[in-house]
Amino acid sequence: MLSVTKEGDLQISSKWVDSLVSNSDKDKKKKLFFFSHIGSYESNADNFIQTITNDSSYSKCSNQLKASYDSSDCEKVHLSFWYDSLSVELLHIIKFMFLLSGCFLIHLNVSNDKLFDDISVFIIQSLFFYAVSEIKNNKMKKPMVILLINHDGSNLNSPDNNLKEIEQLWRKCLNVNNINDPISLSDYFEFDFFNSNSIKFENIQNSIINSSKFEKTWENIVYSLPFLQDMINKKWICSSALPKELLISAEDKTLKEIMLFYFADSAFHEVLQFSQQILKKWGKVVYKGKTINNYGKIVSNFLENVNQKFDSLIPKDFNKDQVSIKKKLKINSIVQQRILFLFTKQLLNLQSQALEKFKDTLLKIASDSKKNFDSEKKLAIDTVSQWFISHAEALVSNNNRLSYIAAQKELDNVLIEFSEKFKESPIVKLQSLQRLEKQTSTSGLKQSGIVIGFGLTAALRPHGFGNFQLITSYTQGPHVFNFSLVNDRDIAEQEGQGKIKPFRIQPSLNFDIEL
């Protein structure tokens, strides 16, 4: 009927919920009385549970929460848990039962004429600590605690003496919680003793349900069945938080170790969740390519808050225990790794921004013919490097754990390498050629004067029809000699050009004036 999922939720069988709803219940609301049975796995409780639930198939299971439905006389749900040793799970179950039940039936396994063993004492003590938490929140409902003894009663202390022992546990609980008011145990709990061998559960049940105090507190509670699953799950989730005062009150060494592991582990996960929420917000900023001003100072304060929060979740007397120290070091290691990752990511963002600034500067240098690329390049590297340093120092904020030196050296190397490749790029070469051409055209002084040159042109035209042609030229300073040979004289004469001379020569005089 009840099962715990992998996620840790308590799941109720839908068949059981359906069985609670009769055809006449249009609003699906019922009065349910929850009885909680808890005891050692060695206790003889099988027959007792089988009798009260009319379920002959019921059998005990070690460390497993069970629920049985009983509709005789009134609607009752019997929760049962049989432990084989002391554990955090047992404390979890006790609190869950405390939040849900109006009556506890603690099955005592009497041994060596001793009514309470160490675990049963701690169960009662745990109920008291849970009660104090509810009293502080003004939510306390008075439960009944029935101590079922499977014994003939011989050689046992009287109920009055046993109650005195229980009252001492109550006083101890109040002292640990720094409550000095004389709060009476009877104001918040009603204890009774029964021998399970000599009395029927029906008699116990009647004495509980017919009790005027029980009626005032529990009898008028009505459950909305459609929301029963949610209600029980909420109780289950609430029961996972145990009061740290339990650790302080523990006297058994093994129990102290169990409780310490529990609280250290709980503190670890709570602080980790708290840290991840803040680191996630910072991550959203950084992944947008932005940086967080005074990051080093912020994370220093953040780490201090993480440690303070962890310490606040562990009782002061146990902060220096090795279990607590290891958990604290582990949470610090995880948080610092994430802090360093976000710092490195911000340095990468600054490097990218610096490189873009450097590219823009080089383009401006290359497009300005008046500037020398090599000298301006060095100045640009220094300027961009200083820009990176100023922004990186704002990130570090005197945090000794963060350093940008390696990132700065890496950036300087990239800028130098990029500038060398940029110098060999087509755009820079084109600008250099244009600059050289301009310098050449404007270099030297203009000289005025006249240069005289002699020219001679000769032409040889033998008989033929133009199937052979030769044209050549020779230049020596300002003097030019041109010679042509074309066998086209017959064609020229046939076209009516008259008698063509086979050879002609024509001199010329050239004047080149420079103003």
H-type alpha helices, 137-227: 159-176, 201-209, 212-214
CA–CA dist 96, 190 (Å, integer):
19
pTM, rounded to two decimals:
0.56
Beta-bridge partners for 472: 483
Amino acid at 134: E
**Residue 63, pLDDT score:** 73
| Per-residue pLDDT tens over the stretch 70-91 | 766 667 788 888 888 878 788 8
Q: Which residues of 300-313 are buried (b: 16+ CB within 10 A; e: fewer)?
A: bebbeebeeebeeb
CA–CA dist 363, 456 (Å, integer):
55
Among candidates 354, 361, 366, 370, which has minimal Cα distance to 408?
354
Which percentage of the chain shows pLDDT scores above 90?
A: 12
The DSSP secondary-structure symbol of 62 reads B
Q: What ranges do the domains of the chain cover?
A: 2-246, 259-423, 449-514
| Per-residue pLDDT tens over the stretch 202-241 | 666 666 655 555 555 555 566 666 677 777 778 888 887 7
For the segment 159-182, the average pLDDT, to the nearest whole number, is: 80
Residue 157 exposure: Cα atoms within 13 Å on the Cβ side: 13
Q: Is the dihedral of CA 134, 135, 140, 144 positive or negative?
A: positive
In contact, 479 and 455? CB cutoff 8 Å? yes
Superfamily of domain 2-246: P-loop containing nucleotide triphosphate hydrolases (3.40.50.300)
Residue 304 pLDDT class (50, 70, 90 cuts): very high
Tokens of 23: 């055809």
Among candidates 493, 427, 421, 415, which has minimal Cα distance to 461?
493
| Per-residue pLDDT tens over the stretch 140-154 | 677 778 787 766 555
| Per-residue pLDDT tens over the stretch 102-117 | 788 888 877 666 777 7
In contact, 391 and 350? CB cutoff 8 Å? yes
User: What is each CA distance from 308 to 164, 238, 314, in whole angstroms?
Assistant: 40, 24, 10
Q: Tell me whether strands 449-460 and 222-224 are parallel, antiparallel or unpaired.
A: unpaired
- Residue located via tokens 């087509």: 426
